[in-house]
Amino acid sequence: MQEATPSTPGLRLFDLLEILAREARPLTLAEAVTACGWPKPSVHRLLAQLESGGLLAREPDGRRYALAPRLLRLAEATLTGSTQQGVRHAVLRQLVADIGESCNLTTLSGVEVVYLDRIESAFPLQLHLRPGTRVPVHCSASGKLILAHMSLSQRTSLLGSLPLESHTATTLTSLAALEDEFIRIRKVGYAVDAEEFVEGLVCAAVPVFSPDGRSVRCAVALQAPAARMTLAQAIENVPRLHEAAKALARTLV
């Protein structure tokens, strides 16, 4: 239950959005009331206001409220603006200087992975992916990493709603194959993209944990053309990626 704190009507709307985001799943009116501890009529009114403003949307069953695209775009813009400046950007830039290949910071947005920040390598052969770019969750190293650290119910719900499209000959397109991959990821502490999204491109990603260490907030990854860096060579850089992830985790408050 949410602790009672003085709040203006406008801030009360924001408080409710924070609660819904923290729950990380669509909530019914009753579940929202339980989560925040406020009177049912007040919560119902706030939910209706957020829905009319395009910040929340009803699930197909008409009972559950989920974060809407407008709110997700606002969150992405806020995160992107902060990561392009200051400590996080500096950490990523130093990582690229040390490894010599492009590196990025990503997170989950809806059912896709979104790039929060990215530093390109100095090599002329590059895959330009700007902040805000979205990639599939099931065939990207960062996406598989985030999925692996979700609860089984969250992961099943998300993947069950997606067409597991094949992008290359190595894309994993079955739930069974992906679950085996998630077990491996949790065991070794990193994920790879073995040319699963773009042929000729390899990637390794590690988690950036929340301050309490209980959840994965983002992923930091390196990407390189397979002609310049083999997958095995990318994996050799995982310890350096973990160092960067720890530095990035200290910026999450």
Examine the fold and report which residue of 51, 67, 83 is the final residue of a domain before the chain moves on: 67
User: Residues 60, 113: one domain?
Assistant: no
Examine the fold and report which residue of 67, 100, 117 is the final residue of a domain before the chain moves on: 67
- Note whether residue 203 is domain-resident: yes
What pLDDT is attached to residue 122?
A: 82
| Average model confidence (pLDDT) across the chain | 88
Helix locations, 107-200, DSSP H: 141-148, 152-160, 175-188
Report how far residue 143's alpha carbon sits from residue 72's, in angstroms, rounded to the nearest whole number: 17
Q: What is the CATH number of the domain that holds 42?
A: 1.10.10.10
Q: Which two tokens stand for residue 206?
A: 């590690």
- Note whether residue 131 is domain-resident: yes
| Contact indicator for 223, 165 with CB cutoff of 8 Å | no
Examine the fold and report which residue of 67, 82, 100 is the final residue of a domain before the chain moves on: 67
Q: Which two tokens stand for residue 73?
A: 């775009």
Read off the pLDDT of residues 9-20 as tens digits, 9 standing for 90 and up. 678 898 899 888
User: Residues 159, 194: one domain?
Assistant: yes
56-87 b/e with 16+ CB inside 10 Å = b? bbeeeeeebbebbeebbeebbeebbeebeeee
Between 73-82, 156-165, 184-193, 201-210, the lowest mean confidence (pLDDT) is in 73-82
User: Residues 32, 136: one domain?
Assistant: no
User: Maximum CA pair distance of the chain?
Assistant: 61
Report how far residue 98's alpha carbon sits from residue 85's, in angstroms, rounded to the nearest whole number: 20
- Note whether residue 1 is domain-resident: no
**3-state SS, residue 207:** strand
User: Residues 106, 189: one domain?
Assistant: yes
Read off the pLDDT of residues 135-170 as tens digits, 9 standing for 90 and up. 999 999 999 999 999 999 999 989 988 999 999 999
Q: Residues of the chain with pLDDT > 90: what percent?
A: 60
What pLDDT is attached to residue 251?
A: 81
Q: Which domain does 161 fall in, by range?
A: 72-249
User: Residues 60, 23: one domain?
Assistant: yes
- Note whether residue 4 is domain-resident: no
What pLDDT is attached to residue 5?
A: 46
User: Residues 120, 199: one domain?
Assistant: yes
User: Residues 123, 236: one domain?
Assistant: yes
Give how many domains the chain has, as a whole number.
Answer: 2
Prediction pTM value: 0.69
Q: Is pLDDT at 1 greater than 50 in this prediction?
A: no
Query: Tokens 């094949």 appear where?
Result: 166
H-helix or E-strand spanning residue 165: none
Band (218; pLDDT cuts 50, 70, 90):
very high
Residue of 7, 4, 2, 9 lying closest to 27 (CA atoms): 2
User: Residues 27, 100: one domain?
Assistant: no
- Note whether residue 3 is domain-resident: no
Q: Tell me whether residue 4 is exposed, middle or buried, using C-beta atoms within 10 angstroms of its C-beta: 0 to 12, 13 to 18, 19 or more.
A: exposed
User: Residues 122, 79: one domain?
Assistant: yes
- Note whether residue 19 is domain-resident: yes
User: Residues 34, 58: one domain?
Assistant: yes
**Radius of gyration (C-alpha) of the chain in whole angstroms:** 19
More confident position, 193 or 127: 193
- Note whether residue 53 is domain-resident: yes
Q: What is the CATH number of the domain that holds 138?
A: 3.30.450.40
User: Residues 133, 209: one domain?
Assistant: yes
**Proportion of the chain in helix, strand, coil states, percent, rounded to 5:** 45, 20, 35
| Contact indicator for 113, 72 with CB cutoff of 8 Å | no
Query: Tokens 């949410």 appear where?
Result: 2
What pLDDT is attached to residue 83?
A: 57
* Phi (first) and psi of residue 25, to 5 degrees: -160, 155
Q: Is pLDDT at 2 greater than 60 in this prediction?
A: no
User: Residues 218, 136: one domain?
Assistant: yes
